[in-house]
Amino acid sequence: MAGDGPSAPREIPVALDVRSIRKSFGSHEVLKGISLAAREHDVVAILGSSGSGKSTFLRCINLLETPDGGEVRLKGELIRMRQRGGMLVPADMKQVDRIRSRLSMVFQQFNLWQHMTILENVTAAQIHVLGRDRKSAVEKAEAMLAKVGVADKRGHYPGQLSGGQQQRVAIARALAMDPEVMLFDEPTSALDPELVNEVLKVMRDLAAEGRTMLIVTHEMGFAREAASHMLFLHQGLVEDEGPPREIMANPNSERFRQFLSGSLK
């Protein structure tokens, strides 16, 4: 369960194993070798000031950004990469697509498909990627929309919903894939303050259910309550990590201490 990081039994298998991810944009090295192992049911909060590379790190895991080096394993399966013209590229795009379908991502800007109804947004990937038949996809979608509290919006279009509602639909879209790990890229950063809590509440429930989640966030209170493990990135490196309450109470790094005092004022 969430929040019991250090005392969790050792035999819980690792769901996502990410090793030494490196990434540069031009001459700017954004990630200088970041590793992370998330066991099943872990909720990992990834913090860092803007420009610390935390979103890039998340996007390297599902290869929305192609890392320059490092390894990603989902349930032991390595995403195979190969060299091409001095660059690392996926060796098998089919494998990447398959792994991506097991790693649902929730975006800062929601990225709901604008031309589809809410229901279609939640069924599309089930049908086209997982190959589910329409009927079971719709059933699944309805259940997930009800779970996040927007079942009544099924026939609407994304543009007709508030940001908070859109993000909850995006979470339903992610859940409908029965993902093994969920990736959240600053899910509340684009929301009006009064809409943040409805999304955080849904995420807290998911954490309590034992979902494996990686969350890039600025919500310190949420991270402390919901996360089992916390990573603080600074200039492309892991500057501090550990169980949230411990490292937030006693930061090992001066940078993290400054970050905390800056964000808790």
Partner 1 sequence: MEDLVAYLPLLIQGLRLTLLLAVSTMLLGLVLGMLLALAKLSRHGWLARSAFVFTNFMRGIPEFLVLLMIYFGGTQVLDTALGPGVVNVSPWIAGLTALTLVFAAYASETIRGAYQSVPKGQIEAARAYGFSAWQAFRIVQLPQIWRLALPGIGNLWQGSLKDTALVSIVGLDDLMRKANQAAQTTRAPFTFYMAAALIFLVLTLLSMAIFTRLEKRASKSDRRT
Which one of the spans 27-35, 108-116, 208-216, 228-236 is the region binding partner 1 (CB under 8 A)? 108-116
Is residue 230 within 8 Å of residue 45, measured between CB atoms?
yes
Decide whether 15 or 161 has the Cβ nearer to partner 1.
Answer: 161
In three-state secondary structure terms, 197 is helix
CA distances from 187 to 77, 135, 156, 170, 206 (A): 27, 30, 21, 10, 14
80 binds partner 1 per the rule CB under 8 A: no
Binding mask 115-134 for partner 1 (x = CB under 8 A): xx-------xx--xxx----
69-74/14-25 β-pairing: antiparallel
Is residue 29 within 8 Å of residue 22, measured between CB atoms?
yes
φ/ψ of residue 31, rounded to 5: -120, 125
173 binds partner 1 per the rule CB under 8 A: yes
251 binds partner 1 per the rule CB under 8 A: no
Which one of the spans 3-11, 49-57, 155-163, 200-208 is the region binding partner 1 (CB under 8 A)? 155-163
Q: Which two tokens stand for residue 10?
A: 């050792």
CB of 130 to partner 1, least distance (A): 8
Binding mask 86-105 for partner 1 (x = CB under 8 A): -------xx--xx-xx-xxx
Q: How far apart are CA 14 and CA 47, in angstroms?
A: 21
**Contact positions vs partner 1 (CB under 8 A):** 62, 64, 93-94, 97-98, 100-101, 103-105, 107, 109, 111-116, 124-125, 128-130, 156-160, 173, 177
